[in-house]
Amino acid sequence: MAVPSTVKTGMALDEFIRLYDQEGPFELIRGERISKLPTVARHNVTSRAAFVALYNRAQAEQAGEVFSEAPFILPGTYSPNWVKDSRVPDVMFIAAERVSKYKAQTPDWQDKPFILVPDLVVKVVSPNDHFSEVKEKIDLYRADGVRLIWLIDPQRQTVAVYTPERELPDIKRLDGTLDGGDVLPGFTLPVRELFAS
């Protein structure tokens, strides 16, 4: 009787870093490299507005760290130096306690992508995004353990808020207000400010 073999998907961490540097940003989803496409100005302006709002709050209260277009990886079970999957959110926030612990346990953290799932992720919808791909991305973030996801749609000027406990998103419109929930308590941001520019 033949013994079933396990298919090892992903790539070695050093290969991931080399390819990312040489060929540009990409995500690794179920072993497939998916290049990050260039974005339009509206996408960049909206992403910057979310980044600045989160960054200012995180800095003022030392609540955590905010990054833009930074990859995070999901390590494989084979080795801590094996990348199973990776994501590159438009903006991500990691709570202070978690990022501090990560840095203490990972002395060379500055020389590799984050091997840490963020607490909050911002995805800005681009004109070239397909609904099914966006839905899959949200599902992946939720499966990864992201606690709060903001899906910002600049065309419709709405934000769909996803949390692990809600199957359907809470849709915020121009007159609505985003909040940080239990990820960033007390944080509020009028939706209108994301589209002010």
We report the CATH number of the domain holding residue 40 as 3.90.1570.10
User: How many independent structural domains does the chain possess?
Assistant: 1
Angle value at C-alpha 143, between 55 and 8, nearest 5 degrees? 115
Q: In what order do the strands lie in the sheet with 148-153?
A: 64-68, 91-95, 120-124, 148-153, 158-162, 170-172
For residue 15, is it within any domain? yes
Mean pLDDT of the chain: 92
pLDDT digits (tens, 9 = 90+) for 73-132: 998 766 778 999 999 999 999 999 999 999 999 999 999 999 999 999 999 999 888 899
For residue 3, is it within any domain? no
For residue 98, is it within any domain? yes
For residue 30, is it within any domain? yes
For residue 2, is it within any domain? no
For residue 5, is it within any domain? no
For residue 1, is it within any domain? no
On the question of pLDDT at 5 being above 60, the answer is no
Please give the span between the terminal C-alpha atoms of the chain, in angstroms, as a whole number.
Answer: 65
Full residue range of the structural domain in which residue 130 is found: 11-195
For residue 190, is it within any domain? yes
Percent residues over pLDDT 70 in the chain? 95
pTM recorded for the entire structure: 0.92
Length of the chain (residues): 197
